[in-house]
Structure 1
Amino acid sequence: MSPIPVRASPSAHVRRPPMPRHPCPPDTGKASEVPAMNHDSQNTTERPKHMKGAERRRRTLRTATALAGAALLLAGVQGPAVAAPSPAGPTTAATAETSHTVELTSTAEALTAPATTRPGLTTFHASTTQAGKGWIGLARLKDGKSWDDFRDVLSRALSNTPSDVPQGAKDLDDTATLLGGLVIHPGQPGSFTQRLQPGTYLLFDYLTVGDAQPRHRPLTVTGDAVDQGLAPTATIVSRNVPGAGPRFEIRGALRAGRPLRYVNEIPGQVNELLFVKIADGTTEADLRAYFASMPDDGTFPPNSPFTSVSLGSLHLSTGRSSVVQVPLERDRYAAITWSKDATDGIKLVKKGLFTIVDVG
């Protein structure tokens, strides 16, 4: 996320310099990293103003590169053809309140979202018609924090530089609560449910946070509560298992096209949940070896075991959950995350936070 546009359009990846986060073959890409404000603000008497600005621009550029690479991570691998959704019309407050569904539409030109909705169990339905746009996240900023603060700290919490991550993760926890969102693609819309309290939330596009004009919208929650959410068929929990480390635990059965609940229970750790198809015969040992071969600089080795784009939930803060519905098919997937360990900046997949799942 940077003032210099670094776009994450899968169709453009062959024309770009190599980007970080690329577990697929050389032309492919993935999902999820962002930016915010940092600890440099505590040392304002120690640096000239122009130096602080230059440092922030460098950090933001690194974030933009990291996010674009994340966006490409699997986005360049073509899965089965999917019919494009019909264009969504403009969302009105009345529509959102009647069904308690918030429509989020991304195009090449803009993000369309309502300015208000009512409290309670709320379903966000998101679609995009433009590759490289439309991974909409939901967050709630803490008192006194701004969009610029959020961009800066998120960039460090999700950085490809391991040494930046621990302090970035702490600063992110002090700045905002991440409430999920969707990794989707043109023709593959999705929905997620979150319980909203009265107040102001932030909707933002992970794939544009590094652009000169990042897409973000305030969402004011007010009025009488209405509960109407998605009914999950399974729950996936990310948690620390004593003696083993971070793991995904699956409860229930994953069904094609049906909602699932994602819960993040790892202390002090924001985390995402992504699904990507894997090649026939791929084992957990194969995935473990592939992840172990990844350098920590955000680049990816060849011979990827992945065969589709990624779909799933964007980051949740510790202790948060979201019900997510994305167009999974009856197939074999890897459930993965590209989040880094908040204690040392190492990718969580290297520590075992992945599993193979069969979607029925």
Structure 2
Amino acid sequence: MNRDSHNRTKRTARSATVLTGAALLLAGLQGPALAAPSPVAPEPRTAGTAEACHAVELSSTAEGFTAPASTRPGLTTFRASTTQPGKGWIGLARLKDGKGWGDFLNALSRALSNTPSDVPQGAEDLDETATLLGGLVIHPGQPGSFTQRLYPGTYLLFDYLAAGDAEPRYRRLTVTGDAVDQGLTPTATVVSKNVPGAGPRFEVHGTLRAGRPLRYVNEIPGQVNELLFAQIKEGTTKADLKAYFDAMPDDGTLPPNSPFTSVSLGSLHLSTGTSSVVQVPLERTRYAAITWSKDATDGIKLVKKGLFTIVDVE
């Protein structure tokens, strides 16, 4: 890759790093800046909680990103925290044979681009480069965990918000050794899928509980997708959300009069046919379940096509 192409890729990736929502949501809120909500008190330790799992510790600070170089195959719980605003959304991807960080960054930036015409080819190239296995949208004082089944091979752990920086934060993770089989136990499952006659939709099965794990499954063919939760103003309806999303331009900016009252928490992108069990500090209140992902066929935001819903966390 020549210098001009490399710089262009970095610029594209830098613009892509704000697509997933927390930075956008916070920028679109009206009034004074919001304080981060108090973390939900952890549940007592049992055999099904994160404390009993085979765990990998991840940390993002002003000094950098810390992650192990290797771990064992099987169910693995990644525990992540960040102390630096604007950094620390840790994603996981499994590289396909012969692919490296540069290939992955180039495809990811185009698949998530704010230029709709870039998205279809970017999504196709991303599918040929790596399998996205989720990750976490978190903030300082609001750590999270996610469980993923790993197989022997090479993975990338990367800071989504720093992917386009001059010194991107990523680590290779080699999976080798004897398998383990312990992970987080979800209380609910959220599925993104295409509903005949309706389009892409989220379906919720079970009960979402504050501070407890949930399973996210992406069943939309040929489409990487994320799952984010943002608190909404009292009285907000699905019609209100639809009107807000319909007013969003393609350049990634947010219209005024946001219905959201918090930054977002949740899962980073999953490839089609994959799932992740995620635990983030949701509170007992009403949220919008949303995505800022673009339709891989035409680059249009999936929320404009109905991929959002309102959920109550108990």
TM-score (norm 1): 0.80
Task: Say whether residues 1:130 and 2:66 are aligned partners.
Answer: no
Q: How many matched pairs?
A: 298
Task: Say whether residues 1:178 and 2:129 are aligned partners.
Answer: no
Contact in 1 for aligned 2:58/2:67 (Cα 8 Å) = yes
Code of the residue aligned with 1:73 in structure 2: it is L
* Alignment counterpart, residue 187 of structure 2, candidates 233, 243, 246: 233
Code of the residue aligned with 1:354 in structure 2: it is F
Task: Say whether residues 1:200 and 2:154 are aligned partners.
Answer: yes
Which position in structure 1 is the counterpart of 2:8? 58
Given the superposition, is the C-alpha separation of residues 60 and 263 from structure 1 closer, same or farther in structure 2, using an over 3 Å criterion? same
Which position in structure 2 is the counterpart of 1:257? 211
Give the Å deviation of 1:56: 4.1
Deviates more, 1:157-166 or 1:296-305: 296-305
Cα distance in 2 for partners of 1:324, 1:281 equals 28
Give the Å deviation of 1:69: 5.7
The DSSP-based 3-state class of the residue aligned with 2:217 is strand
Summarize deviations over 1:92-126 as a string: whole Å, max 9, x none. Answer: xxxxxx95100001100111111111111110000
Deviates more, 1:69-78 or 1:250-259: 69-78
Deviates more, 1:250-259 or 1:99-108: 99-108
Which position in structure 1 is the counterpart of 2:47? none
* Alignment counterpart, residue 100 of structure 1, candidates 54, 73, 92: 54
* Alignment counterpart, residue 353 of structure 1, candidates 297, 307, 310: 307
The DSSP-based 3-state class of the residue aligned with 2:17 is helix
Cα distance in 2 for partners of 1:125, 1:166 equals 33
Summarize deviations over 1:169-188 as a string: whole Å, max 9, x none. Answer: 00000000000000000000
Code of the residue aligned with 2:14 in structure 1: it is A
Contact in 2 for aligned 1:165/1:342 (Cα 8 Å) = yes
Contact in 2 for aligned 1:139/1:201 (Cα 8 Å) = yes
Given the superposition, is the C-alpha separation of residues 119 and 66 from structure 1 closer, same or farther in structure 2, using an over 3 Å criterion? closer
Contact in 2 for aligned 1:137/1:181 (Cα 8 Å) = yes
The DSSP-based 3-state class of the residue aligned with 1:272 is strand
* Alignment counterpart, residue 224 of structure 2, candidates 243, 255, 270: 270
Cα distance in 2 for partners of 1:131, 1:214 equals 16
Code of the residue aligned with 1:61 in structure 2: it is R
Which position in structure 2 is the counterpart of 1:78? 34
Cα distance in 2 for partners of 1:80, 1:55 equals 39
Contact in 2 for aligned 1:203/1:216 (Cα 8 Å) = yes
Which position in structure 1 is the counterpart of 2:239? 285
Contact in 1 for aligned 2:154/2:172 (Cα 8 Å) = yes
Which position in structure 2 is the counterpart of 1:317? 271
The DSSP-based 3-state class of the residue aligned with 1:74 is helix
Summarize deviations over 1:59-109 as a string: whole Å, max 9, x none. Answer: 431320231464512245525543699xxxxxxxxxxxx951000011001
Cα distance in 1 for partners of 2:64, 2:26 equals 20
Cα distance in 2 for partners of 1:338, 1:208 equals 18
Contact in 1 for aligned 2:189/2:217 (Cα 8 Å) = yes
Cα distance in 1 for partners of 2:127, 2:95 equals 10
Deviates more, 1:333-342 or 1:107-116: 107-116
Unpaired runs of at least 5, structure 2: 28-32, 42-51
Cα distance in 1 for partners of 2:174, 2:305 equals 39
Which position in structure 2 is the counterpart of 1:15? none
Given the superposition, is the C-alpha separation of residues 57 and 328 from structure 1 closer, same or farther in structure 2, using an over 3 Å criterion? same
Code of the residue aligned with 1:251 in structure 2: it is H
Summarize deviations over 1:234-277 as a string: whole Å, max 9, x none. Answer: 00000000000000000001000010000000000000000000
Task: Say whether residues 1:144 and 2:112 are aligned partners.
Answer: no
Code of the residue aligned with 1:105 in structure 2: it is S
Contact in 2 for aligned 1:274/1:335 (Cα 8 Å) = yes
Summarize deviations over 1:271-323 as a string: whole Å, max 9, x none. Answer: 00000000011000000000000111212211100000100000000000000
Summarize deviations over 1:173-214 as a string: whole Å, max 9, x none. Answer: 000000000000000000000000111111000011111100
TM-score (norm 2): 0.91
Cα distance in 1 for partners of 2:121, 2:132 equals 17
Cα distance in 2 for partners of 1:243, 1:115 equals 46
The DSSP-based 3-state class of the residue aligned with 1:174 is helix
1:159-178 mapped onto 2 (5 Å cutoff): 159-178=113-132
Cα distance in 1 for partners of 2:170, 2:87 equals 12
Identity of aligned pairs, percent?
Answer: 77
* Alignment counterpart, residue 330 of structure 1, candidates 284, 304, 313: 284
Given the superposition, is the C-alpha separation of residues 63 and 250 from structure 1 closer, same or farther in structure 2, using an over 3 Å criterion? same
Contact in 2 for aligned 1:105/1:126 (Cα 8 Å) = yes
Cα distance in 1 for partners of 2:269, 2:53 equals 26
Structure that is richer in strand per residue: 2
